Amino acid sequence: MRTEHAIVHGASFAGLLAARVLSDVYGSVTVVERDTLPSGTFQRRGVSQGHHLHQMLSAGVRRLDDLFPGIIDELESVGAVVTRGTGDPSEFHLGVGDVVFCQSGRFTRSDDMVICLASRPLLEAVVRARVRGIAHVRVLDGHDVVEPVMGPQGRVIGTRVVARATGDERLLEGDLVVDTTGRAASIPAFLESQGFDRPGETRYDVNLSYSSQLFGIRPGDLDEKVVLAVPTLRRPEGIGIMAYEDDTVIVTLIGLAGRTTPTESTAFLEAVERFVPAHVMAALRSGEARGEMRTQRYPVSIWRRYDRLGRFPDGLLVMGDALCSFNPVYGQGMTSAALQAVALRSCLRDGPEGLSRRFFRAAATKLSPIWWSNRFLDWAIIPSAAGPTSLQKAVNVGMDRIYAAAGSDVGVAETVYRQMQLLGRPTDVLRPSILTRVVSGNRRARTPG
């Protein structure tokens, strides 16, 4: 494989991971980023979601530590909250409707359930410093990407960039260009302008609104690391609270199907109180709001199906949200980027022949179970204007049975938690051993006393 120069569009989380993987193969790697990137931890202008709830799921933690050995220990040393294979369910409070998942007993399959809780700025800062520490990786910040440049034989030969401070434009020549510029990426339009087909899109409406506020919490006031109230079909609203660095917690209110979330502090706290136990609310009221409340909307989940294109230019790839953008409620975006980076590394090891086709297919294999699991869950909890269908009602009855059993059976609760962490398969909850426990758990729930 030609090992001269690779170019990454965007120093997003996906872009940084792409640069790390490319550095194993290419003699030099340039990451082009429109934001100015000083050292240290800061909210990046180009990451509006950086003000909201983030977590590195267990499936992503393993891949991240593989790409950057020791990085989870490093994150923990600078304040990230890391739960390492905990068998204690009391560290989590998960409510679904009137059910609170079992918080007694022990998890028995928790060795691989390592969760990294930290703000997006801290996660990016640590990863960005690791990438900048690679001698042949350069971060070209303060530059806009204009578009890739096509050579005479249908191959991308680089990309045009513009310095934001001066307006000067130049060509960066490269053997491979990887676009990670997010949902608004312009690659579909670029393909069309060069005589290629635009990728088809698999999409569905979410109509999500979410508001977030960071709180400083007194040490010892809140034992739980994660507090979740999951939206349901009957109440398509919920909340996520997670422990962060510097004795802070992020509180994110969620509204699906057009439900709006508060934008004012008093209304925000009143809404939070509807979802959380009294001791959690007391910890927040005893704490201190830090920074501004932030509200954002997410209209639609999109998967651009580059894997289905018959023709695609050599020398170009697409990763991250530019490829597939998940409902942020499930906190899977950074883990998805890690899974794609691992897929790219495997494809690069197999040589240059048909790289784009092989990568998009490998990425689709990683993305497909997450996409369809999310599609199923969203479909089950987002009401339509015409009201729920008979099938939707039936699905919700089944899910209610699983959740009811999780309220008293730690084994069922652990299975659901593992699915949320993208461990195992989405169908694990349908294993006969788990279904037997679901039936027993619902019998107990219906038995007086």
pTM of the model: 0.93
> What pLDDT is attached to residue 2?
44
| pLDDT band at 58; cut points 50, 70, 90 | very high
Distance CA 214, CA 233 (A): 28
Asked if residue 159 lies in contact with residue 145, where contact means CB atoms within 8 angstroms, the answer is yes
Asked if residue 162 lies in contact with residue 169, where contact means CB atoms within 8 angstroms, the answer is yes
> What pLDDT is attached to residue 449?
53
> What pLDDT is attached to residue 3?
57
pLDDT tens string 110-150: 889 999 999 999 999 999 999 999 999 999 999 999 999 99
Average predicted confidence (pLDDT) for the chain: 92
- Amino acid code (one letter) for 194: Q
Mean pLDDT value of segment 83-96: 89
pLDDT tens string 248-278: 999 999 999 888 999 999 999 999 999 999 9
Mean pLDDT value of segment 284-304: 94
Three-state SS for the chain is CCCCEEEEECCCHHHHHHHHHHCCCCCEEEEEECCCCCCCCCCCCCCHHHHCCCCECHHHHHHHHHHCCCHHHHHHHCCCEEEECCCCHHHEEEEECCEECCCCCCCCCCCCCEEEECCHHHHHHHHHHHHHCCCCEEEEECEEEEEEEECCCCEEEEEEEEECCCCCEEEEECCEEEECCCCCCCHHHHHHHCCCCCCCEEEEEEEEEEEEEEEECCCCCCCCCEEEEECCCCCCEEEEEEEECCCEEEEEEEECCCCCCCCCHHHHHHHHHCCCCHHHHHHHHHCEEEEEEEEEEEEEEEEECHHHCCCCCECEEECHHHCEECCHHHCCHHHHHHHHHHHHHHHHHCCCCCHHHHHHHHHHHHHHHHHHHHHHHHHHHCCCCCCCCHHHHHHHHHHHHHHHHHCCCHHHHHHHHHHHCCCCCHHHHHCHHHHHHHHHHHHHHHCCC
| pLDDT band at 1; cut points 50, 70, 90 | very low
Distances (CA, A) of 33 to 22, 166, 167, 354, 399: 17, 15, 15, 28, 43
Q: Compare 218 and 425 and report the one with higher pLDDT.
A: 218
The yes-or-no verdict on residue 192 having pLDDT over 80 is: yes
Mean pLDDT value of segment 144-163: 94
> What pLDDT is attached to residue 377?
85
The yes-or-no verdict on residue 182 having pLDDT over 60 is: yes
> What pLDDT is attached to residue 187?
96
Domains of the chain: 5-46+121-200+305-374 (3.50.50.60), 71-119+204-300 (3.30.9), 390-446 (no CATH)
| pLDDT band at 49; cut points 50, 70, 90 | confident
- In our burial notation (b when 16+ CB lie closer than 10 A, e otherwise), range 219-232 reads eeebebbbbbbbbb
| pLDDT band at 167; cut points 50, 70, 90 | very high
The yes-or-no verdict on residue 293 having pLDDT over 90 is: yes
Mean pLDDT value of segment 192-218: 95
Mean pLDDT value of segment 84-107: 90
Assigned token pair, 58 = 């267990």
pLDDT tens string 405-433: 999 999 999 999 999 999 988 788 889 99
